[in-house]
Amino acid sequence: MSADVRRLDTDPGRDVGSDVGDPFARAFLSTRMPMLLTDPHQPDNPILFVNEAFLNLTGYSRAEVMGRNCRFLQGPDTDRSAVQRIREAVAAGEGIETEILNYKKDGTRFWNALVVSPVRNEANELLYFFACQFDVSGQKNAESELVRTKASLEELVSRRTQDLQSALDQKTALLHELDHRVKNNLQVISSLVLLKARRLKDPRAQGALHNVAERISALSTVHRLLYSVGDVSRFDLAEFLGDLTGDLATLLPPGQVAVQLNLQPVAVSAAKAAPLALLVNELVSNAFKHAYPDRRRGRLLVELTKPDGELSIVVEDDGIGMDAVAPSGDGFGRTLIDMLARQLKARIDWSDAQPGTRAVVTMPIDAEEAQF
Amino acid sequence: MNHHPLRILIVEDEILIALELESLLQDAGHEVVGIAASFEDAIALSQFRRPDLAFVDIHLTDGPTGIDVARSLSGDGVAVLFMTANTKRIPEDRAGAKGVIAKPYTERGVRQALAYVTASDEDVTKEGRGMTFVPFDGCRSETSARGV
């Protein structure tokens, strides 16, 4: 090829298409890949030869490019550092691949995937530089299109996330507000009952209202604890029993009956909290109210355990025992206990604690609660 | 009760709750000097009646101004107890209050709070776990089981 190329030197304008027999030269001429050769031994590394594909790509005629340095392809937006890299490689006699923004004769920009290779002889002397060009504008545009799309999608997602977050914040605020309302309303209900009780002269009527107030108080305790864990769906039964027995112990003078608590950490679903609270409230308040008359001293035991995947609550007093208790009131308390047990699908086993009464409430725990 | 009667101001916008609390406090031997439902009323009553202690709900008729009431009253030397369903609203510095009673409270919670404020230890009963009244300094009462 070198002999043929040296011949081109003499007449750069000549169309050499027809009289080059060398297959490599013919390939060089015919290929649709734009290519050129430059001569680094001449000042400014001028173009020695270009193929038709190069001329088609760039829009120049052979006469316009032969003998010139390739920099005529650069333009105002060409990246200067890419140019610098090419210059340095050429100066060092090395090859380089890079994408560079180039300009056609009519000013159209295109992205040029440029591959420059030094051509050396057997003695490793640098003869020429051989450069291929490839128009990758399509890919580049697709790339930047992709980047733009990605950026706008990210912005969309970010805005959507903000909207969702603010909706969630609003719902959470509403939930807090609702919880606050419920608690306040329970306080109002309790106040209504107690205020009325104060105005009644008949002690039995007062007693009846105070009974109601106590049950409201049990429900109030449920709600006070219901959201405190931050999770509205579960209810800390152990904490509740501690609170409840503490509250009910004030039914008797302090110190008369010692409260013994044996509570394992157990949580139940919020739906069970209210009926369970009312049930235990009946058991414990009965013990305080009826098992220890005439300043009888004693001990009340409340146990909470989870044997074999069931829930077990034990309320045991060492007082005068159920048989000795005169039937009082209208039996509503006992009815309430049975009804609530039914609602909870719980079993209540009564036994004589000798002395005193032992009530054991056994309840199934469903699979979800077992995880608590 | 072995203590001298306190002059107590109730700052609460639900009148029924305020009235029942008033009765409760009177039963406990104290004097209720007024019931205020808003920030302005609370400040005015406090300056006019000079209470020793104030029970302050956070949500009043003019918004969550109970915090400002607490700050102002405690600045004037009134012992302040928050009474609220919304303990999360209480700022870090507690606005000068001495404790909080969580709503819906029981009589026991109020009595615990009174016992704490009057610091008469014979009134403070040994508790099990958890309670309505939470004092803010934590170390005076053995009943402080749960921090706010």
- Mean pLDDT across B61-83: 94
Helix, strand or coil for residue A335?
helix
Chain A residue set in contact with B, beta carbons under 8 Å: 176, 179-180, 183-184, 186-188, 190-192, 194-195, 198, 217, 220-221, 223-225, 238-240, 242-243, 245-247, 249-250, 254, 259, 261, 263
- Mean pLDDT across A321-342: 78
Q: How far is A364 from chain B (nearest CA, A)?
A: 26
The pLDDT of residue A258 is 93
| A263 contacts on B by Cβ (under 8 Å) | 129
- Mean pLDDT across A80-103: 95
- Which two three-digit tokens encode residue B39? 């920030």
In sequence order, what are the residues at sequence separation of 6 or more whose Cβ sits closer than 8 angstroms to the Cβ of residue B28? B1, B110, B111, B114
Closest alpha carbon to A54 in A64, A45, A46: A64
- Mean pLDDT across A282-302: 92
The pLDDT of residue B27 is 92
pLDDT greater than 80 at residue B120: no
The pLDDT of residue A335 is 87
Confidence of residue A227 (pLDDT cuts 50, 70, 90): low
Determine the residue of chain A that is closest to B21 in CA distance: A191
CA distance A130 to A39: 9
> Which of A185, A186, A190 to mutate to probe the B interface, most B CBs <10 Å?
A190
Count of CB atoms situated within 10 Å of the CB of A359: 23
CA distance A370 to A360: 20
CA distance A96 to A73: 17
Confidence of residue B92 (pLDDT cuts 50, 70, 90): confident
Query: Residue A173 in contact with residue B86, Cβ under 8 Å?
Result: no
CA distance A141 to A304: 70
Helix, strand or coil for residue B33?
strand
DSSP A16: -
pLDDT greater than 60 at residue A221: yes
Count of CB atoms situated within 10 Å of the CB of A152: 10
Asked if B107 has any chain A CB less than 8 Å from its own CB, the reply is: yes
| B127 contacts on A by Cβ (under 8 Å) | 246
| A227 contacts on B by Cβ (under 8 Å) | none
pLDDT greater than 50 at residue A309: yes
Domain-embedded: residue A270: yes
The interface predicted TM-score of the complex, written ipTM, equals 0.80
pLDDT, tens only, A34-79:
999 999 999 999 999 999 999 999 999 999 999 999 999 999 999 9
The pLDDT of residue B129 is 27
Put simply, the answer to whether B129 touches A190 (Cβ < 8 Å) is no
- Mean pLDDT across A282-305: 93
The pLDDT of residue A64 is 94
Between A104-108, A246-250, B69-73, the lowest mean confidence (pLDDT) is in A246-250
Question: Among the residues of A231-305, which ranges form H helices?
Answer: 237-248, 270-290
The pLDDT of residue B127 is 41
Domain-embedded: residue A64: yes
Domain-embedded: residue A26: yes
Q: Is the peptide bond before B104 cis (omega within 30 degrees of 0)?
A: yes
- Which two three-digit tokens encode residue A119? 């051509």
The domain boundary residue, chosen from A135, A166, A186: A135
Domain-embedded: residue A195: no
For B7-135, CATH number out of 3.40.50.2300, 3.40.50.1820, 3.40.50.300, 2.60.320.10 equals 3.40.50.2300
* Domain coverage including residue A362: 234-370
Asked if B38 has any chain A CB less than 8 Å from its own CB, the reply is: no
Residue A322 sits at φ, ψ, to 5 deg, of: -65, -40
Instruction: Give percent of chain A with pLDDT exceeding 90.
Output: 62
Q: Do residues A128 and A7 share a domain?
A: yes
The pLDDT of residue A62 is 94
The domain boundary residue, chosen from A112, A135, A158: A135
Burial zone of B89 (CB within 10 Å; 0-12 exposed, 13-18 middle, 19+ buried): middle
Domain-embedded: residue A209: no
pLDDT greater than 80 at residue A322: no
Interface list for B 3-32 with A (CB within 8 A) = 14, 16-17, 19-21, 23-24
Domain-embedded: residue A187: no
Residue A40 sits at φ, ψ, to 5 deg, of: -75, -10
Q: Do residues A238 and A365 share a domain?
A: yes
In sequence order, what are the residues at sequence separation of 6 or more whose Cβ sits closer than 8 angstroms to the Cβ of residue A328? A290
pLDDT greater than 60 at residue A14: no
> Which of A181, A188, A192, A224 to mutate to probe the B interface, most B CBs <10 Å?
A224
Q: CATH number, domain at A299?
A: 3.30.565.10
| Model confidence pTM above 0.95 | no
Q: What is the number of domains present in chain A?
A: 2
Q: CATH number, domain at A18?
A: 3.30.450.20
pLDDT greater than 90 at residue B106: no
The domain boundary residue, chosen from A114, A135, A156: A135
In sequence order, what are the residues at sequence separation of 6 or more whose Cβ sits closer than 8 angstroms to the Cβ of residue A95? A89, A115, A116, A117, A118
> Which of A178, A185, A187 to mutate to probe the B interface, most B CBs <10 Å?
A187
Q: Do residues A113 and A239 share a domain?
A: no
Distance of CA A112 to the CA centre of its chain: 43
User: Per-domain residue ranges for chain B?
Assistant: 7-135
Q: Do residues A358 and A249 share a domain?
A: yes
Domain-embedded: residue A148: no
Domain-embedded: residue A56: yes
CA distance B74 to B28: 23
